[in-house]
Amino acid sequence: MDIWGSGFLLNNLFNLYIMTIYTVIKKYEKYFHSIRLHDTILLVDLKLPINWQIQDLLSSFKSTTQLKVNDQTEKHALVSFYAPYSANEIAVLTQDIDKVIKWNNDREEKNNLLNVKILELKKVFESNNVDSLRNINFDFKEEINVDLNGEELKLAEEGSREG
């Protein structure tokens, strides 16, 4: 391989490396703070809401990804997710970060939906008499699992009498 061929190869590898870093930064853009390589450990630092469940959630994954909570403010915590610097470990690291973000975003969306539904239900109760409220039914189009103090109940699908 001549000098021009090896330069072309190195340039393409460098561009691929930069694009991979860009992809990671872009993926976590909303929370991204920094990415570091310390000896043989890759660290991804994210600024996450203080009320997010992170440590317990990550430990439930049975993963090699570790974390350290650094500086905290009233609203955010700077969290370092880290793993050994290898392709497989970095893949696990990013999957674990994805799971933590998705789980917490889903939880926030559920809380927002619950608040909206509570407001809607309050309006229904305020604008109807007691007799009509006694006839309220909640019909679900699909099976919904309900966990009451550790006991899971399955609500019947619409039209079903089982439950």
- Per-residue pLDDT reduced to its tens digit, 141-151: 776 666 655 55
Residues 6+ apart with CB under 8 A from 118: none
Q: Which residue has the higher pLDDT, 69 or 1?
A: 69
Q: Which residue has the higher pLDDT, 161 or 97?
A: 97
Mean pLDDT of the chain: 82
Domain ranges of the chain: 1-30
Assign 11 a pLDDT band (cuts: 50, 70, 90): low
pTM of the model: 0.71
Question: Cα dihedral sign for 85, 90, 94, 97?
Answer: negative
For residue 139, the 8-state DSSP code is: -
pLDDT at 70: 94
Least confident of 19-23, 77-81, 145-149: 145-149
d(CA 37, CA 45): 11
How many percent of the chain have pLDDT more than 90? 55
Residues 6+ apart with CB under 8 A from 92: 63, 64, 65, 83
Are 92 and 62 spatial neighbours (Cβ–Cβ below 8 Å)? Answer: no
Q: Is 119 a residue whose pLDDT tops 90?
A: yes
